[in-house]
Amino acid sequence: MFHTSRRSFTLGALLGGLSATMGAGVACAQAVNTYTIVSLLDYSGPFANRGKPVEQMQRLLVDWFNETRGAKAGIKLEYKPIDTGYDQAKTVQAYERSLEDKTMVGIVTFGSPNVIALQNRLSQDRIPAVHGGPSYSLMKPGNWVFTPLGDYARYFATATKWRLETWKESRPLRIAFVTFDGSSGRDWAGSFGGLIKGMNAQVVLNEFVSPRALDVSANVEHILAAKPDIVYLATTDQLQPALLKELKASKFDMTRVVNSQHEGLGLLELLNVPKDVYEGTFEVTSQSYADPNTEAYKIYQSRAAKYSTRWSADTLLHFPSVMVLLEAIERAQAKAGSGRINGAAVFQEMRAGSFNGYGLLGKIQFDIDKDPTQGADSVVILQQKGGKITKASEFMPLVK
């Protein structure tokens, strides 16, 4: 009788525990909140060849979050990419459609047309955006666009300061700033000119090249005529190889060329540009992408086989933008408990804190109330040397 009662009690306790466990599981499942992240991309404009690889990198990171951290945080994220063709009007149309989805808590942007189109509207609709690219001087304090990469003009100014450390002549360092003819390129050029005031350096040429140009020989003639000591190339996937090939054919000293983070050495390799074309050239970048030991690279490497993307400057522009947004959503949800969050809650988390660069970048710290161009705090100089990407400097704080 004793044994029967004990067995009945044990069975009852087991069933009761199982019921409680199943109930907790149901409760846990019910506690998961689903939110949408919208990504504004370019599948049909001047950067269309980047659209799919960038989308796939972003999707890789969102899937990684859902599978490794989202469930624990009570979050499931839906990723929604949209083509804006690198066009302001199309951006507005895409944004208006996105607002119909009340689960949207954040936007990832692609280029200056996205930022220009949205920066004055986001605060009204209480939706934050994280920009997958550099900041621009046109960005106003208090807007809801966050830029993890910071200001590219500061990158080039920091590279100028680095070059001047070994400059032996009393005359100013002669600089040719070559970029694509668009709002981003003109913004970088204008801002860069202001940042190097007071340095022993002089911009002798601002060359703006059509993003769709097929022949850059005339542009290279302008560069050669300016007799620069350093040439910054901040163009597009199509223009960068063409300009480098033309400079090399003209027997220009390629150690005077500095590539931008947009079209860095890693991307040139993936585009199958012959390495002898850009041997000796440098790159100024905030991203330590040549280091395979970073947490960022390990996340990518563990999942890369499932996605049509690449570990290169163009896709990695968007790595920190997505990761910052994911981390801000996670922080906001932790404060809300099982309750739902919105874009305003995510905005407050981005505004209030610093963010992890996962070894790919240094510290990311925003200050949108005073300086909306602030993001990554440092850059490194890389060089194509002996057919390999080598480090030419340690990380350096940005010129401000």
Fold (topology level) of 152-285+380-397: Rossmann fold (3.40.50)
> In CATH terms, is domain 30-150+291-369 a member of 3.40.50.300?
no
Q: Output the pLDDT for position 362.
A: 86
Question: What is the model's pLDDT at position 326?
Answer: 98
Query: CB-based contacts of 166: which residues, under 8 Å, 6+ apart?
Result: none
Helix, strand, coil fractions of the chain, as percent rounded to 5 = 45, 20, 35
Predicted local confidence at residue 288, as pLDDT: 87
Extended strands (E) in 27-119: 33-41, 75-83, 104-109
The CATH 3.40.50.2300 domain(s) of the chain lie at: 30-150+291-369, 152-285+380-397
> Given this model, what pLDDT does residue 22 score?
44
pLDDT digits (tens, 9 = 90+) for 242-298: 999 999 999 999 999 999 988 899 989 988 999 999 999 999 999 988 889 999 999
CB contact set of 319 (below 8 Å; sequence gap of 6+)? 57, 61, 287, 296, 300, 358, 360
CA distance 29 to 312: 37
Report whether 106 contacts 37 (CB < 8 A).
yes
**For the chain, how far is it from start to end, CA to CA, in angstroms?**
84
Res 7: pLDDT: 41
pTM: 0.80
pLDDT of residue 9: 40
Q: Which regions of the chain are under pLDDT 70?
A: 1-30
- Give the pLDDT confidence score for residue 302 in this predicted structure: 96
Q: Each residue of 205-231: b (16+ CB within 10 Å) or e?
A: bbbbbebebeebeebbeebbebebbbb
- pLDDT of the residue at 290: 85
Going through the chain in order, the beta strands assigned E by DSSP cover: 33-41, 75-83, 104-109, 129-131, 145-146, 173-180, 201-209, 230-234, 257-259, 282-285, 354-355, 364-365, 378-385, 388-391, 396-397
Phi, psi values for residue 342, rounded to 5°: -135, 180
